[in-house]
Amino acid sequence: MADLLERKPAKIAAVALANKIARIAWEVTTRKEVYAAAA
């Protein structure tokens, strides 16, 4: 997130992060699988 804040305004970075979290949540709910974050 810090590297994104260096390149983009705070509001844009916040929306990008929210979008990423929403996409992960959608995949978890539609696939009925446990989310395993990449290491």
pLDDT in tens, 16-35: 999 999 998 898 889 877 77
Determine, yes or no, domain membership for 35: no
Residue 39: inside a domain: no
Residue 23 within a domain: yes
- Which residue, chain included where needed, has tokens 């699988």? 33
Residue 13 domain-assigned (yes or no): yes
Number of independent structural domains in the chain: 1
Burial of 2 (0-12, 13-18, 19+ CB in 10 A): exposed
- Contact between residue 3 and residue 16 where contact means Cβ atoms under 8 Å apart: no
pTM comes to: 0.66
Establish if 7 belongs to a structural domain. yes
Domain of residue 25: give its range.
2-29
Q: Band of the pLDDT at 39, cuts 50, 70, 90?
A: low
Residue 22 domain-assigned (yes or no)? yes
Q: Judge whether 36 lies within some domain.
A: no
